[in-house]
Structures are given as C-alpha cells and as structure tokens.
Structure 1
Amino acid sequence: MKKQVWIVLTDGFADWEASYISPELNKPEAGYQVRTIALDKAVKTSMGGFDVLPHHTWAEACEKGNDPAMVILPGGTSWLAEVNVPIRELVRHCFQRGIPVAAICDATTFLAKHGFLENHKHTGNTLGYLKQGAPEYRGERLYVEAQSVCDGNLITANGSAAVEFARDILKKLGVLEGEALEQWFHIAKHGFLSA
C-alpha cells in the first residue's frame, strides 16, 4: 500500500508551489500517493483560478487511522486569515509524531506565527516579511538566507523556490537521491542537462 502525502489546501492556495512535487510523488515507482486535504470539503480556488475539491478533511483523513508520510503546505493568500488557524493543530500533530512538514512562501509565515520555527533552521520570503506577518515570531537566530532549508523533519522555502522545495522533499522522502536527484533538479530548474 502506498504511503500518503497530504497537501493542505486553503482558499487562494499557490497552485504552482506543489506542482513540481505532486507528479513525482504520484509516479508508480515513488511509493507515494498525493491526497489533498482541507479544513472542510468546500471547493478551494487557487491563485491561478483552479477550483479543487479536497479529497478529505483533516478529520476524515485522521479517522482512517494512518498518519501521512509528510504534510505539504503550499503558500497562498489566506494563510493568516482566522479561518485557517485550526491548521496549526495538524502541524502540531505532525511535530509531535515526527511527521515531516514542508512549507513554502506564506505558509512559512503561518508556521512562524504559531511558534513552529523557533527550534529549527528555516527560511521564508524574507526575515523582514516573517517578522511583519508574524509579530510573535522568535526564531530569527535560526533564519537562513536560502531558497529552501531542510532541518530535521521541517522543510521551508521562499515563494520563488518551488523547484528547490520539490528537490528537498524528494530527497527527504527518498524518492530520488544522488545523481538522479541532481539531474531532476537541473532539468526542472534549467530545462536541460549540460553535456
């Protein structure tokens, strides 16, 4: 049975930020199955105008009794809205159970706002942006100026780093490694392989 990777959808989610990783995880040989989850079963409209019906609510997914192999939080326009605050419980559940969490763009600001970046090296859109969006944030000593940062079971990336984000997820989940991973990254980032 394939292990599930949950992608959390919110209204206004950044559709491209999970677009590099999803097809790679869904390949038969990867051993994973991508499932979209949300706080409710309402259609979520992405920043690009795609209407997506989530596979499950978080409650439904948990009722099935299987934790995911990873939870991915794409960025988007509504992460700081009150309606999304309950997602912190999903993140807390993952941290407590050692389930990797991967967040990109404004989802990193959400993590900062709820105290999840204070014990791990991380990145975000910028340090100033994290502080502005999350005045409660106290993790600046661990902030790294990088496209994507992996520290233990936490992957964070800035909004311009969808390919780097996907590379770090592929590596963390053991889907690709070594030369195969580097080739994938080079093709996805540059469109070709050097001779």
Structure 2
Amino acid sequence: MKLEEIMFTIYVYVLDTLADWELGHVISELNSGRFFKKGAQRVSLKTVSYSKDPIHTMGGMTIVPDCFIDDIVVSKTSMLLLPGSDTWNDPKHAAVIEKASEFLTLGAAVGAICGATAALANFGLLDQRPHTSNGPGFLEMVSPGYKGQSFYIDKPSAAENNLITASCTGALLWTKQIIEYLDVFETNTLESWYKYFSTGDPKHFFALMQSLPSRDES
C-alpha cells in the first residue's frame, strides 16, 4: 500500500503547563496540509489526555482534549506526540508513557520533546534507543534511573527509526523530522520550508512556493 493511501492519525498529548511553542510548527503544518505533496492525504489530529477536563498551557491557552488515553489506537498509521511540560512528574501521566511503550514496541512512531524525554527516560524507554534531550547531563539530573548515556545524541533533535526526540530549542528540526517520517512533503518542499523558517531568507520562501504543485495539478 502506498503511503498516500494511508490516513495517519496524530495523537497529541496535552497536559497542564504544556510548552506551546514546541508544538506550534508541527501541528500547524500537519493540520493545515498547506504544503503537502500531491496525493498525500490529510492527517487526523486528536488531542488526548487522562481526562476530558480542560488543560491550561504555559502560554495560558485552554485546550479541551478530544479523547482519552484509552481511545488511542496503536498502529503504524498512528503517531504519538508528547510535548514538554513542568508537570510530567505527576503519576497520572504514567498511562500515556505506557502507551508510548506500546507504540515503540509495535514500530509505530513517537515524538517527544523537552520534558517528555525525561518522562520516557523515567520509564526506561531511552536506555536502549538513540535519543536526545535538553543537553548532556539533563536526563541524569531529572531521571535518576536513566541508563541510556551511550545512546545519547548531542543534537537539537534526533530521529532514529520510529523515535523522534528533541530539546526545548529543537522544535523546528523536530517538526522537519516528523514531517519527513510521515512523507507528506516533497523533499525539496521540506528543505525549503526548513531553510526559510530557520533563516528567514526570502529566497527560501520563493523556493518553497515554487516547489508546490499548481492548483491545476493538485
């Protein structure tokens, strides 16, 4: 089956003090589909949490979750995104980390950024998988049981197989690697997109626009 025939479901875990900026690029591009390549299906984004109670982001925005953790369908056509937050140590988030373990075991994709990487480390999910976080020494400081030092990659974002991790400053590259994994942009579109948003150089904006199919072709 070709990828363009598959509808991906992106589950975005939401929790209090969620770091708004870490999700901004990725959810905007995946939900809008504005730069998707010809034939790529739109993805379905669902916010998910441990309850249906509204959560309040670090930026003061209110989000009402779409579904419960138990509603997540673990599949290779699903992806679980875990944003940073100051509240990951709350035991009520353990259920979604268990779900992340199911995703990784199946070969389905998990994207974790900033504090969410510490949550994965606390569960032992980074001990044998290449990953990154908020700099060397961070996971040792916040996750006493962490044993994945030899798998640590000192980069803003690291994509290895079906696990995509990032530091709090790596959101743009994290987005690029998630889009690349989903294969919903043409390669030249993705490169121009990343160069434009990382440099602000107008030439990359025009290259981005030129890489898109015309309306007659789409």
Normalised TM-score (structure 2): 0.83
Q: Which residue of 2 aligns with 1:11?
A: 16
Tell me by how many angstroms 1:192 deviates.
Answer: 2.8
Of 137, 147, 162 in structure 1, the residue corresponding to residue 156 of structure 2 is 147
Of 110, 116, 136 in structure 1, the residue corresponding to residue 145 of structure 2 is 136
Counterparts of 1:64-143 in structure 2 under 5 Å?
Answer: 69-143=78-152
Aligned residues of 2:75 and 2:103 also touching (Cα < 8 A) = no
**Which one has the largest radius of gyration?**
2
Q: Which amino acid aligns with 2:7?
A: K
Q: Do structure 1's residue 157 and structure 2's residue 166 form an aligned pair?
A: yes
Tell me by how many angstroms 1:24 deviates.
Answer: 1.3
Q: Percent identity?
A: 29
- 5+ residue gaps in structure 1? none
Tell me by how many angstroms 1:115 deviates.
Answer: 0.7
Distance verdict in 2 for CA 1:126–1:148, change over 3 Å: same
Once the two structures are superposed, what CA deviation does each residue of 1:85-139 show, in whole Å capped at 9, x if it has no partner?
2222111111122110000001011111111111221100022111111011000
Distance verdict in 2 for CA 1:55–1:75, change over 3 Å: same
Q: Which amino acid aligns with 1:25?
A: L
Tell me by how many angstroms 1:27 deviates.
Answer: 2.8
Of 180, 184, 188 in structure 2, the residue corresponding to residue 175 of structure 1 is 184
Q: Which residue of 1 aligns with 2:67?
A: 56
Aligned residues of 2:157 and 2:166 also touching (Cα < 8 A) = yes
Tell me by how many angstroms 1:171 deviates.
Answer: 0.3
Aligned residues of 1:150 and 1:168 also touching (Cα < 8 A) = yes
Q: Which amino acid aligns with 1:41?
A: K
- Bigger shift: 14-23 or 175-184? 175-184
Tell me by how many angstroms 1:11 deviates.
Answer: 1.1
Tell me by how many angstroms 1:79 deviates.
Answer: 1.1
Aligned residues of 2:76 and 2:107 also touching (Cα < 8 A) = no
How far, CA to CA, are the matches of 2:157 and 2:75 in structure 1? 28
Tell me by how many angstroms 1:67 deviates.
Answer: 6.8
Aligned residues of 1:17 and 1:74 also touching (Cα < 8 A) = yes
Q: Which residue of 2 aligns with 1:26?
A: 31
How far, CA to CA, are the matches of 2:200 and 2:78 in structure 1? 29
How far, CA to CA, are the matches of 1:66 and 1:147 in structure 2? 27
Q: Which amino acid aligns with 2:54?
A: V
The DSSP-based 3-state class of the residue aligned with 2:10 is strand
**Cα root mean square deviation, aligned:** 1.8
* Alignment length (residue pairs): 193
How far, CA to CA, are the matches of 1:191 and 1:112 in structure 2? 35
Normalised TM-score (structure 1): 0.92
